Amino acid sequence: MKKMKLVMVGNGMAGVRTLEELLKISPDLYDITVFGAEPHPNYNRILLSPVLAGEQTLDEIVLNPLSWYEENNIKLHLGKKVVEVDRNKRVVKSSDGTEEAYDRLLIATGSNPFILPVPGKDLPGVISYRDIADTDAMIDAAKQYQHAVVIGGGL
């Protein structure tokens, strides 16, 4: 029996947890491909604050290391944001032109931070807080700024 092709867009906690369950229930059902916009394996986004505070490292918050994807025969495209889904052809296309056909498509992209539409929102040092790149940007900003204003209560 030929495996169905499952493509997952997003490499976050919820989507990968779904894959873990699918692999547990029926490990031979799907040929799995994952697209993640970030250049990192799946990690616990909730623990970004301890990374920002220097209490933990990125390696310590990774939930599924690259070896997990390999062990489960998951084709992983890191740092590739999906920019197009052709539902008629059943193909996804990433920002670098990579295309993958699918039988089943799981879109698990999570959310995006809301930036208030106010003057100054594009100034240097104005940072949203959602991912590892944002955490790194805040760490760098802390080296040159002495004060901060936080708007919102997410991470």
Cβ atoms within 10 Å, residue 48 = 22
Domains of the chain: 4-107 (3.50.50.60), 113-155 (no CATH)
pTM of the model: 0.90
pLDDT < 70: residue spans in the chain: 154-155
What's the pLDDT at 114?
Answer: 86
